[in-house]
Amino acid sequence: MKLDVIFDPVGLPTSEVAGRVVFVVDVLRATTVMCTALHQGARGIVPVSSTEEAMRVAQALGTEDVLLSGERNGLPIPGFALGNSPLEMTEGVVKGKSLVMTTTNGTKALLATQGAAEVYIAAAVNVSVAGVRARELLELNEDLVILCSGREGNFGLDDAYTAGRLAVLALGGRRIRKGLNDAALVAVDLVRRYGNRWERPLSLSAAGRHLRAIGFSSDVLYAAHEDQHPVLPVYRDRRITLSPLP
């Protein structure tokens, strides 16, 4: 039984995820947005790596039920229907739609999971549901990876803290120090350091500071609102949909 945390997907060898169950975290904001959109009734989300690919996929899917969404440097992409703010993902806008989504960091993390046994989406808004599934898997002796999206290839405090919260739930008080990698040890320590308050690490993080600077303070508050979307999105066959709850 192993529980590894990876702080950023850059240079991640496929052997690290091959055959393992991966939880992808990009709390500010991609995985928060995904949970929100699916909970508000979106049919599915296709993560892609570029705006060009987004347009190609949208055309292939047929445009009526498809919404292009995403960001570059946190800002909406010209011509796209939606940005990367969870506040945009209202039922009226997303219900019954498929989203084609491209973001700076979260998408890269998802695309780095090739070969994984299963890939789930986690954020503060669904952390307890994700934690229940992670705990079940550890009890079945599965190896887990919590993959942080990080920030342009660097460590992000926001995702590391989220990984810590998820790890603590997965462990459920068990001590498996030998089964944790160095990053998992530190992620769990961050929970001791910051306690249960999401606002602090999210606001302190470079991602949080950047969002505040470009006018998205309310997104940071939204992302810090624990368990408001108790869903478990799963990434399978290049598409994210809702998985039955654990």
Residues near a copy of itself, by CB under 8 A? 5-8, 10-13, 151, 153-158, 160, 177, 181-183, 185-186, 189-190, 192-193, 204-206
Q: Are 113 and 17 in contact (CB under 8 A)?
A: yes
> At what angle are helices 157-171 and 206-213 packed, to 10 degrees?
130
Distance CA 179, CA 5 (A): 11
Integer-rounded Cα radius of gyration of the chain: 17
Q: At closest approach, how far in Å is the CB of 171 from a copy of itself?
A: 16
Distance CA 84, CA 2 (A): 33
| SS3 of residue 63 by DSSP | coil
Q: Which is nearer to a copy of itself, 44 or 164 (CB)?
A: 164
Q: At closest approach, how far in Å is the CB of 6 from a copy of itself?
A: 7
Q: Which is nearer to a copy of itself, 12 or 234 (CB)?
A: 12
Q: At closest approach, how far in Å is the CB of 185 from a copy of itself?
A: 6
H runs (alpha helix) in 120-246: 127-139, 157-171, 182-194, 199-204, 206-213, 217-223
Distance CA 188, CA 21 (A): 19
Q: At closest approach, how far in Å is the CB of 64 from a copy of itself?
A: 39
Q: At closest approach, how far in Å is the CB of 186 from a copy of itself?
A: 6
Q: Which is nearer to a copy of itself, 60 or 185 (CB)?
A: 185
Of 87, 91, 6, nearest to 43 (Cα)?
91
Q: Which is nearer to a copy of itself, 132 or 206 (CB)?
A: 206
Q: Which is nearer to a copy of itself, 80 or 161 (CB)?
A: 161
Q: At closest approach, how far in Å is the CB of 148 from a copy of itself?
A: 10
Q: Are 77 and 71 in contact (CB under 8 A)?
A: yes
> Which residue reads 């408001």 in tokens?
228
Q: Are 118 and 26 in contact (CB under 8 A)?
A: no
The CB-side HSE value for 65 (13 A sphere, CA atoms) comes to 12
Q: Which is nearer to a copy of itself, 43 or 200 (CB)?
A: 200
Q: At closest approach, how far in Å is the CB of 153 from a copy of itself?
A: 4
Q: Which is nearer to a copy of itself, 88 or 219 (CB)?
A: 219
